[in-house]
Amino acid sequence: MEDIQPIIARREVTTRILQAFHLRADKNLGQNFLVEESVVSHIAKATELTPEDTVLEIGPGIGTLTQALAMTGASVVSVELDKRLIPVLQETVGAYKNVRIVQGDILKVNIPEIIESVKANCKDTEAGNKTDRTVAENVKTISGKPETEDVAQMNRSNIELSEKKAVSGIPFKVCANLPYYITTPIIMYLLEQKLPLERLVVMVQKEVAERMIAQPGGRDYGAISVAMQYYTEPKIAFIVKAGSFLPAPKVDSAVLVCKRRTVPPVDVPNEKTFFKVVAAAFSVRRKMLTNSLKNMGGLTSEQVKAWLERAGIDGKRRAETLSLEEFAALARTWKAN
Ligand code: SAM
């Protein structure tokens, strides 16, 4: 892939755009805008996009990462909750024919529906970098001027999208600098739905990324590590210093690259039971399994003891020492009585 050089990802450009639209970053929405060009292009590259791909971006903000994604030629659909940012995005990335902006909450929009619509829209259009000059000019002359016919049309059709849930088969990737206040709910929401999601590249707080890749035996290992490793192969691609954002958050971040597994890593006949066992085991993480597993539906000590024997696991152990395979063994041998 050619070198991507997004122009919005600069401190002075971001400041100028925010000033032009009389906007301030909203802390309640986790708005920390990326202002480091190299970080933005590395995230886009880590997503491994080709013009045949479709990528879902969560929280485009003022279009910083959106621009880098557009430049790969992939079909891009970006979901932004903050209504104030829609006119900004029309100016900054509206000229890219392969970008679609949807105003809404990522936890509520119908993901398969928007993926399908962006694919249909982009089918006959040219790769994003063909419109670079227009975008560069827009960013340079940004002033909040009235929307053009094209942008107005894009906006109307975007806002008409419904918020129903459905399932569709078009494979897609996710790339996002996630709002920190709902990082884990968003990732779990994406993974738990049976969506054809192939790759997830997300910027999260460094500590959260460390918990997601943690192995049994350490303090970082918990229910979220088990879930992430059950659904994906998560890796930390690189660390991003707090100074790469405007405003700078209190802590450093990490870019997590997660390849979606096509086959689960362990044999689990019932996923719901598996995750119930994991939740019960970690519900009181300092306690031994003989105690914590009682939370799996009010079991007696005798019932838990018999269950642990069936699974071949020592009841004196704590949840944080159990591998995915051992949680799976507990799920396989669990009986409701
Ligand atoms: N992508 C931009 C960047 O890298 O500079 C902005 C990232 S900022 C950390 C997170 C973005 O997510 C903000 O623009 C915020 O408004 C948006 N956001 C917050 N909650 C959201 C939600 N539930 N659904 C969609 N977007 C959301």
**What are the tens digits of pLDDT across the range 110-154?**
999 999 888 777 654 544 444 544 555 555 444 333 333 333 334
Asked if residue 131 lies in contact with residue 92, where contact means CB atoms within 8 angstroms, the answer is no
pLDDT band, very low/low/confident/very high, at 337 (cuts 50, 70, 90): low
pLDDT higher at 136 or 26: 26
Measured from the CB, is residue 82 less than 6 Å from ligand 1? yes
pLDDT score recorded for residue 19:
96
Q: Which atom of ligand 1 is nearest to the CA of 14?
A: 5
Give the number of other CB atoms < 10 A from CB of residue 113: 17
- What does the DSSP assignment read for 130-173? GGHHHHHHHHHT-S-PPPPHHHHHHHHHHHT-----------EE
The answer on pLDDT for 276 being more than 90 is yes
Measured from the CB, is residue 81 less than 6 Å from ligand 1? yes
Provide the CATH number for the domain formed by 11-260 in this structure: 3.40.50.150
pLDDT score recorded for residue 194:
83
Distance between CA atoms of 310 and 295, rounded to whole angstroms? Answer: 18
Pick the range with the lowest mean pLDDT from 32-46, 152-166, 188-202, 214-228.
152-166
Measured from the CB, is residue 33 less than 6 Å from ligand 1? yes
The answer on pLDDT for 230 being more than 80 is yes
The amino acid occupying position 113 is: E
Model confidence over 43-62: pLDDT tens digits? 999 999 999 999 999 999 99
Ligand 1 centroid–CA 114 distance in Å is 18
Mean pLDDT of 9-17: 94
pLDDT score recorded for residue 263:
93
Measured from the CB, is residue 116 less than 6 Å from ligand 1? no
State both tokens at 14: 């971001």
pLDDT score recorded for residue 336:
65
pLDDT score recorded for residue 135:
53
Task: Name the residue among 292, 324, 286, 287 with its Cα closest to residue 308.
Answer: 292
Specify the domain boundaries for CATH 3.40.50.150 within the chain.
Answer: 11-260
| SS3 (DSSP) at 322 | coil
Q: Which atom of ligand 1 is nearest to the CA of 79?
A: 25
pLDDT score recorded for residue 123:
55
Model confidence over 65-121: pLDDT tens digits? 999 999 999 999 999 999 999 999 999 999 999 999 999 999 999 999 999 888 777
Q: Which atom of ligand 1 is nearest to the CA of 176?
A: 1
Task: Name the residue at shortest CA distance from atom 3 of ligand 1.
Answer: 33
The amino acid occupying position 59 is: G
Asked if residue 327 lies in contact with residue 264, where contact means CB atoms within 8 angstroms, the answer is no
**Percentage of residues in the chain having pLDDT higher than 70:** 83
Specify the domain boundaries for CATH 1.10.8.100 within the chain.
Answer: 271-334
pLDDT score recorded for residue 137:
54
The pTM is what?
0.87
Q: Which CATH superfamily is domain 271-334 in?
A: rRNA adenine dimethylase, C-terminal domain (1.10.8.100)
* Mean confidence (pLDDT) of the chain: 87
